Amino acid sequence: MAAQIARAGHALSRSAWLAFGLVLLMLLFAGAAAHAQGQVSPATNKVDAGYATKQQQQQQVQPLNNQPVWSEVRAGTPQTTQVRGRETDVLIQPGGQTWRTLRNSMVSVYAGWALVIMVLLIAAFWLWKGTMRLHEPPTGRKIRRFTNWQMAIHWTTAWTFVALAITGLIMTFGKNILLPLIGYTLFSWLTIFGKSLHNFIGPLFLLCIVLLFFTFVRDNVWRRYDWNWIRHFGGLISKRDVPSGKFNAGEKLWFWGGLLVLGLIVSISGLILDFPNFNQTRNTMQVTNIVHLSVATLFMLGALAHIYMGTLGMAGAYRAMSDGYVDETWAKEHHLYWYEDVKAGKIPTAPDDAPPVPAPRPA
C-alpha cells in the first residue's frame, strides 16, 4: 500500500513539474512576442513617439479620449508600408468623413428638394396655363420635321437617360425612401442591380450624346432672331407665338448648355467613377462623386422642363418626335422661319419614305 502511494505521489510530482514547465515555456514565448512587437524601427517610431506620449497623457486626464491619435491621422503624415502605389502609405483617410457628410447632409438633400420643387413648379404652371394649342385649325397637310435617324438617336438617348436617372435616384435617395418600405433584402437586390445597370449604361449615354450633337448641331446654330424669343420668353406667358427657326432659343439653350456642357461633365465624371482602376486617388474619387451628383441633378432639372414641353406643354410636340411629321399650322405658329424655309424649297419637305399626304380637312 505504501509503495502504491509513493508511486502515485511520484507521478503527481512529475505531472506538476511538466505543467510548470509548459506554463514557463508559454510565458517565455509570450514575452518574446511582446518584445518583437514592441520593436519598431527608428524611422517609423520617430514620427509616432510624440503622439504616443500625448495619447498616454490624455488617457490619464480624460480616459477614452483619442484626440491625439486622430490628430496624427489628420496630419497626413505618411506611414510605413511595404506596398508600393499611390496612397498606400495612408492607413485612414479623414477626407472620407468630410465627403460622406457633404454628400449625405448637403448635396443629396439640396438635390432632392430641387427635384421636388421643379416637379411642383411644372405641375403648377400646367394647371395655370394648360397645354399650348394651335390658334388656327390644322390643315391636314404634313411637313417632315425629323428623319428616322434623328428620331432613333433622340429616343435612344432619352431612354438611356431615364435608366440612368432612375438608378441614380435609387442609389442616392433609396436608403431613406425605399429601404423603410421594401426592407433590406429587396432593397439590396434592387440597389446592386441598379448600380450595375448604371455603370454599364453610362458609357452608352456618352456615345449617344456625341451622336446627338453631330446630328442636330446644324439646326442649333444661334441666330439673331433667337434673342427676340428670349425677350418674350417664347410666348409661354403671353400666349403670343414668337417666330423661330427649326429649334427655338429655349431648345438651343438646352442643346448647348444641357446636352453638351452638362452632358459631357456628367459623363466624364461618371467614367472616372466607373473605372477606378486607372490609379485615381481616393480624394479624386470623392470630389468627382460630388461633381457627378451635382451636375446630374442640374441635368435632370433641365430634362424635366424639356420633357414637359415635349408632352403636356405643347400639343403636337410629342407627335413630331414620334412619327416625324407636323401639321403645316403647327409649323407656322411655333417655328415660322423654318416653315418659310420649307415652303421656299430651302429645306426638303419629305424624303422618299414619306407617307402620302392626306387631303385637307374643312375648317
Question: For the chain, give me the number of helices (H) and strands (E)?
Answer: 14, 2
| 119, 113 contact by CB (below 8 A) | no
Distance from C-alpha of 343 to C-alpha of 324, rounded to nearest angstrom: 17
Chain mean pLDDT for the chain: 81
% the chain with pLDDT above 70: 75
Q: What is the DSSP string of 36-51?
A: HHH---HHHHHHHHHH
pLDDT at 43 over 70: no
Q: Where are the domains of the chain?
A: 2-74, 99-146+217-343
Q: What is the Cα–Cα distance from 187 to 184, expressed in whole angstroms?
A: 5
Confidence (pTM):
0.74
Q: Is residue 268 within 8 Å of residue 261, measured between CB atoms?
A: no
354 has pLDDT over 80 = no
Cβ atoms within 10 Å, residue 214: 9
DSSP state of 218: G
- At residue 281, the pLDDT reads 86
pLDDT tens for each residue of 75-132? 767 666 666 777 777 777 777 888 888 998 889 999 999 999 999 999 999 998 888 8
pLDDT in tens, 156-193: 999 999 999 999 999 999 988 999 999 999 999 999 99
Q: What is the b/e burial string over 115-140, where b = at least 16 CB atoms within 10 angstroms of the residue's CB?
A: beebeeebeebeeeeeebebeeebbe
Range with lowest mean pLDDT among 134-143, 169-178, 262-271, 273-282: 273-282
CATH superfamily for 99-146+217-343 is Transmembrane di-heme cytochromes, Chain C (1.20.950.20)
Contacts of 31 (CB under 8 A, 6+ apart): none
Give the span between the Cα atoms of 332 and 326, in whole angstroms. 10
Q: Read off the pLDDT of each residue in 300-313 and give the average, rounded to a whole number.
A: 94
324 pLDDT tier (thresholds 50, 70, 90) = very high
CA gyration radius for the chain? Answer: 35
Confidence of residue 348 (pLDDT cuts 50, 70, 90): low
Q: Which of 52-61, 121-130, 231-240, 353-362 has the highest mean pLDDT?
A: 121-130
Confidence check: pLDDT of 257 > 90? yes
Q: How confident is the model over 193-248, as pLDDT tens digits?
A: 999 999 999 999 999 999 999 999 999 999 999 998 888 887 777 667 788 999 99
Asked which of 41-45, 57-61, 171-175, 286-290 is least confident by mean pLDDT, the reply is 41-45
Share above pLDDT 90 across residues of the chain, in percent, rounded to a whole number: 50
